[in-house]
Structures are given as structure tokens and as C-alpha cells.
Amino acid sequence: MDPDLEDLLRAWMGSPVSEDRQRELLSRLRSDADFQAAFVGEIRMHGMLKAVQSAEPRWLSLTEELGLAAEEQSPEEAFSAAFEKRIIRPAIFHKRLRQWAFASAAALLLLGAGLWLLRPAANASAPSLAVIARLGAKTKITIDGRPVHEGDVVAPGRLRLAAGSAALSFFNGATLFLEGESDLDLIAMDRVACRLGRLRLRAEGPATGFTVTAPGAAVVDLGTEFALNVGRDGKSAVHVFEGQVEASLLNGSGNTLSSDLLKENQSARMEPGKPELDRRPQKPADFAKAQPLRAGGLSLDARYARSILDAKPWAYWRFQTLEQNRVLNEIPDRPALKLFGQGVLAKEDADNQSLEFLQSEGATYALMEGLWQPPTQTGYAVELWMTSYALRLSALLCAVNPRVIEDLPKPESREKHLLLLHLMDRSQRWMHPNGSVRMLQRIPAGYGGGINVFSDLTYTPGHWHHIVAQNDGQQLQVWLDGKLAGVAAMRPMDPANPCEILLGRLTRVEKSNDARPFTGRIDELALYERVLSAEEIARHHALGHVLRSGPR
């Protein structure tokens, strides 16, 4: 790479630049069209998918040259993260197994000398990175000195844990577990810097490539689960429990000095100033544990079922018994749900069970044995309780066109959806709050289009949530834990066609590349051919509570 271009990108990212060097770079930027184009090309390569905010650029002379007002200095997180990796520590990332996909909110414009540049969105709020999924008993955790609690959404900052344990679910799907005294910086959705502590990271799919740095060292995830211990003396140790990582020692400038690929059950020690990793085996028991994000049992008040039945649902499944892989409907003469794959009933308490969707290689879902025609013109509602084991794009419930037998053998056949109820992560397909609940309705059923509503409240993995998604004939509504969390206006729609109800997956196609499988538990599913009132929703939510939290 051209040294001037590299220095310019470093400067844009906030690295110190002398005044003489600034003048040299700005002079070339003004006069060299090829240099301008190369700079823009580097920005645009990482800036076309999705808007995510991050820290401000710190070279004010450059921002003034680009025509950016001081109050608008908020370049995209993706731009920041991508260039730190590409420019500051390129050798660490040369073996990454995933395709770069970094997002930005883009308006590529700058007049003068024909230069186009990324204009950051004017949004002073910090980006959301993760949600606090679990805290151990008596655990106290702060970010930038402010206490945080389970369910809180967190932004970049310095996280400190005095003692105990914590789990953070990042919106890219990674889960970070902490044990004991910890001190680390939350930098981006795929990057943390640990000064002290014991952490364990699970990252797969979109989260692959998550980077954890320590004094003089860095560990890059390559689709794996690994743990890292960082001591007060700055020395660190890494152990791979699954998959593989790229572990590197860094020089004083933060560039790779040496690196090695560590595979499953391999470990290493990393000491600042040393030229190579110490590959002597480490004891797995000395590292942090990864406790599954399982919610405690959902206990329902004795009046809960009666309250639902009094609301006159069209269908109601309690998941209390399983007969020949079928869950019977609580409403007489209404269809049962048939289970396919690894769905099982899970015990919640002495009087309650739920439907559990386990992670598996095959297709796991539940399908209603009959048809329902939701009255889209006069109103309908879907109500359920759910707990997810991960913060991940996944389908809770879909209303799909009936399938004819002749279509089933065709591998290219997909579902035509009329209604979708989704859990979101930080998907780059749509603009929405990270970790929201999504409701989509499209009339007629199809593969694309429709009206969306996203909740402005975040669901928390390992916690039970009460969800109501409904259409009152004029707008779509999403209610989360008794609160109205999202509304979208819509035009009057044609009547919906009769549809099948599919739980736990976007499609029944076994080998679909976009199945969005749900892992977790669903309970007390009800379908209504009317809209629930705010009072009814609040009452139903209040009649449920969690017996215990954490792993069981």
C-alpha cells in the first residue's frame, strides 16, 4: 500500500499525526486525483452495507478538509473496525476465514477537486454493542463507572467486574463469559481489549472473526470457542475448546510480531516482549466456563389458562402433553401441532411445560395440522411466551401458504409467507434496532415485500419474554413484556388466504440456506381473531414469572 495512503487512513482513524505530515497529506489529497480515488475506494469497500455508529475521528484538520462540521464527527463503526484491522494490524487478520462485511450509512459526497468521501451520519449517540444476558449472584458490574444490570443494552466503554460472573450477548451473535475480577474495553461488536481477567468467547456464523486483545497479544476467532486469561503482570494464556484461533504476539506499535494457528484442545502462553508464543499445554480447568444461557422455569399463575380461555382465542396450545408427536389444542375441534426433528417438551415447574427447540443439524419445527385465515381487515393477534438461548436472527412463528404434495420433492421450493414473527440480531438486511422483535405481514403471501414493525425494546437471551404481535386493521403492533414496543401504520389490506402455522423455523425445507432456526423454548401460544386490549396484554404478562435464573 502507498505509505501516504496508509498514513492518511491511520490519521482518519485517530492515530497521532505531526503537523508537517498533516500538511503533506492534505496537499497530496487536494492535488492527486488518483490518490483521492484510492482513499475513497478504501472507504467505500467497507461502507456499503449498513449504518452503525462508532467513535469520532480525531484529526480535525482532515475533517475540516472534507467539509465535516465538528458536531457531525461520527464515522461508522464498521469503517473504524475494518481499517484498524486492515491498516494497524494487518498480519493478524491474514488467515481470517470469513468474507469482510462491514457496514456504513453512506452518503459519498464531497465537492471540490472532484473528491467523494464518506460523510458520517450526524448521530451523537453511541452504538449499541451487546446486552447483559446474565449476572451471577451478588455480581456488580460497571461500564465507564455506571452500574449495569441484566437486560441492559451496552455501548462501547470500559467494563469492570469486581467479582462474580457475567455473560454478554453481542448483537453479531457472539457470547462473552467473564469470571472473577475483570477489566476490559468494549470497543466494537466484534472486538474487546482485556487488561485483566478470565473470559471465554463463543463466536460462530456472522460473529466469526471476533478479536480479543491483551497486552502485547491478540487472539482472532476463526469460528470457535476459546478462553483467555490475562494476569496483572500482563501475561496471558489462551486455550481453544472448539474450532481454531489465530494467536499473535504484537510489537510496541501494535503490529504482529509472530503468530500461530491454535486448534481444538491446543493452548499457548503469550508474554509481551517475547518473540514467540509458548506452546506448552495449559489446563482447561484453569479457564472460564461457558454456562448455557438457559432461563429459569416459567411459572404461571393458576389463573393464567382461564384468563386466556376467557379471551376467546381461536387456538391455544399449552404444551403440557405430547401424544404421538402431537400437541393437542386447548380449544375443542381446533388443530393440533405436530413436531418434527428435535423438538421436545421441557419441564418448567410442577404444573407447567414448554416446547423446546434444540440445536441440531436437521430441520426442527412444529406445524399446525390445519389452516387458519387471520382476519387482516378486522384484526387478529398472536400471543406467546418465549426464551432464546442465543441472540440470533431466528424465526419464532410463520404463517405460510399451504404446501401441495407435488411441491415437496423440489429442493428449490420455498415457503410463501403471510406473517413472520422474528427475533433479530444485527442483521444487515434491514434497518432496525439491534436485538429487536420483528413482525412482518404481506398480503398476498409471497417471498418479499410487506409491512414491517420492529420493537424498540431488546429481548435478552436466557430470559423469558411475553410477546404479542397483532394487526388492528390499521396498524401492526408488537408488545414486549406488557409494553407497546413498536407500531407501523398500514393501508387497508385484502383478506388473507388460509395458511399453515409454522414454529421454530422459516421453512420446512431441510437444507435451506436461510432457515433461521430458533433455539430456545416457546410456551402458551394463542391465536386470536380479534385484537387484545392493553389491559388484557398487561394482565396476561403479569400472571407469569420466572422461578429461578441461570443454568439448570
- At position 355, the amino acid (one-letter code) is L
Find the mean pLDDT for residues 374-383: 93
Q: Which long-range contacts (CB under 8 A, 24 or more apart) does 175-184 make?
A: 175/133, 175/201, 175/202, 175/203, 175/290, 175/293, 175/390, 175/391, 175/461, 176/130, 176/200, 176/201, 177/201, 177/288, 177/289, 177/290, 177/291, 178/288, 179/288, 179/289, 183/158, 183/159, 184/158, 184/159
With beta carbons less than 8 A apart as the criterion, state whether 39 and 9 touch.
yes
Task: Please say whether the dihedral angle defined by the alpha carbons of residues 329, 323, 524 and 369, taken in this order, is positive or negative.
Answer: negative
**Quick one: pLDDT at residue 360?**
78
Q: pLDDT for 314-331, tens place per residue?
A: 999 999 999 999 999 999
Please state which CATH number belongs to domain 130-286: 2.60.120.1440
For residue 159, give the C-alpha cell.
467494563
- Mapped onto helix, strand or coil, the DSSP state of residue 196 is strand
Please state, in angstroms and as integers, the Cα–Cα distance from residue 400 to each residue in 223, 313, 531, following that order: 33, 20, 21
pTM across the whole model: 0.76
Any idea what DSSP says for residue 403? P
Q: In this predicted structure, what is the pLDDT of residue 509?
A: 85
Measured CA to CA, the distance from residue 501 to residue 18 in angstroms comes to 64
Q: Are 464 and 453 in contact (CB under 8 A)?
A: no
Q: What is the pLDDT of residues 25-76, one digit of tens each?
A: 777 777 777 777 777 666 544 333 333 333 334 454 554 455 444 444 344 4
What single DSSP character describes residue 108?
B
| Domain residue ranges of the chain, discontinuous segments joined by + | 3-93, 130-286, 298-403+414-546
Say yes or no to pLDDT of 379 above 60: yes
Query: What's the confidence (pLDDT) of residue 94?
Result: 38
Please state, rounded to an integer, the average pLDDT across all residues of the chain.
Answer: 82
> Which is higher by pLDDT, 428 or 309?
309
What was the pLDDT predicted at 114? 32
Grid cell 433461521 in the structure block, residue:
516
Whether the per-residue pLDDT at 104 is higher than 80: the answer is no
CB 129 within 8 A of CB 391: no
pLDDT, mean of residues 473-502: 93
- If we measure between CA atoms, which residue out of 494, 406, 484, 404 comes closest to residue 439? 484
Distance separating alpha carbons of residues 276 and 475, to the nearest angstrom: 61
Per-residue pLDDT at 445? 87
Distance between CA atoms of residues 450 and 172, nearest Å: 25
* Residue of 335, 334, 441, 437 lying closest to 379 (CA atoms): 441
Residue 132 and residue 137: Cα distance in Å, rounded? 14
pLDDT at residue 361 is higher than 80? no
Q: Rounded CA gap, 323 and 168, in Å?
A: 38
The listed range with the strongest mean pLDDT (182-186, 277-281, 343-347) is 182-186
Which residues are CB-contacts of 3 (< 8 A; sequence separation ≥ 6)?
none
Burial of 73 (0-12, 13-18, 19+ CB in 10 A): middle
State the pLDDT at residue 77: 45
pLDDT of residue 510: 82
Confidence band for 16, pLDDT divided at 50, 70 and 90: low
Nearest in space to 524 (alpha carbons), one of 425, 400, 382, 326: 382
CATH class of domain segment(s) 298-403+414-546: mainly beta
pLDDT, residue 205, reads: 83
Q: What is the per-residue pLDDT for 62?
A: 54
Whole-number pLDDT of residue 118:
31
Contact 34, 40 (CB under 8 A): no
Q: Could you tell me the three cell numbers for 274?
A: 517475547
Cell of 535: 389491559
Mean pLDDT, residues 161-165 taken together = 94
How do residues 387-433 score in pLDDT, each as one tens digit? 999 999 999 999 999 875 445 455 445 789 999 999 999 877 788 88
CA–CA gap between residue 514 and residue 480 (Å, rounded)? 26
Nearest alpha carbon to residue 485 among 542, 449, 438: 438
How does residue 91 score in pLDDT terms, banded at 50, 70 and 90? very low
Strands 244-250 and 217-221: antiparallel
Fold matches, 130-286 and 298-403+414-546: yes
Name, in order, each residue with C-beta under 8 angstroms of 82's C-beta and a sequence gap of 6 or more: 46, 100, 102
Helix locations, 350-403, DSSP H = none
Would you say 373 and 527 are in contact if contact means Cβ atoms under 8 Å apart?
no
| Out of 103-107, 220-224, 533-537, least confident range | 103-107
> For the residues 452-464, what does the mean pLDDT come to?
95
Enter the C-alpha cell of residue 107: 452518503
